[in-house]
Chains A and B, each alone.
Chain A
């Protein structure tokens, strides 16, 4: 039944849109569409953004693994190309601090009336286009450190639910300590 649903292109586009609407709504209620809240997170003055991400990871991690365990959907871990991830991640981080928004929250910020976010979105389109143009020149760099779509439990050969349990507890402890420290 679910497989039939996945094949319906128009329905799927509409579902993507609906999930996006809910996502944008939640990002805004969390404060993540606000430049000031994101930059204050990066300045380590306000931890709302990390609390949102950590709670989303705990909730998502448990539910998604139950879904793939019992239902048709399968995990889609991205390839672990560690060199481009580290270099690209750092470049992303620099841009993250300057724009004060990320690809998802910048579009959300546009919806809340942030005119400057429109320039951020244009910049991201240019950056993505630039990457597509230089891609053929850096293909070797992109693939040379590829470990494949590994997951933490497959890489470390530890039981999946042990990893989920341990990470959930660790993230919860970090959030508890942040609350205790007054953040």
Chain B
């Protein structure tokens, strides 16, 4: 059963370090997403696990066996690419039966395996079609069927949904997770889409500039990211710079720009420390009057977004604040003043980064 371990894996292309000493481990049956912006090294990482590229340094273990030098054909894995690669002259059924055929199974076994794989991913009805006759989503399902029919226990998904329409992507997310879990496969799924990563995976690895920034369960990464970059990349957040003014009863009073104050619970900061306050747009609310943990702000824009309404405000601290209100709450007029209330349970506090806040949050 495939448990995977990477030890000190680095990869250099000439002078460029694509991966820098990456360590990580995953369990058999786990679904892990590798998430990060373009150029973060996520594709390099999955290609090294697949055996398409050798690492410059470090080792790769599958089931405690060092497979660093083993070729891709001998790694027993299913690989699904971003740019859907099917044999164009073969029908869906022939494509699905490719691996069993190469392995020299009997016609009966090939038939049974490809049929089962096509059924699982939902392309049985299109088994006689050529790839060119299928929509993008159906083509990607067919490549999934081919990967599954190989009966590999490890499925590597390299941006499998990126080439598809947004709406189709959402459908296939459900299908992917269902499939991996129902078959008890181990899966690694590379994506730049944080929502996709969170909805398919048991655990998400956030990468940036060739390094792992943070690893955690989706809810953990969203609710309590340990890192500023994660807080911004995995869902949107508001960030306000401040300084710790005082600490009492385990609560820190933070001074923001313009002598405004917020109280934050659960914290390990010290007095005088420069900090960044982070909070999700849905954890802010608007009130007509001043109250605890509130800052006055002017509504610059209010926009219907479906189940929520996104308000953009300019606070007295000078910061821009995004506030998401449930649609159906009383309408907020642009140009009016309001008080933005910070829910203390959801405020996150980070030491102010030495490289500057803008640099720490940069998306590319």
A and B are partners in one complex rather than unrelated chains: no
B: which residues have CB within 8 A of A? none
A: which residues have CB within 8 A of B? none
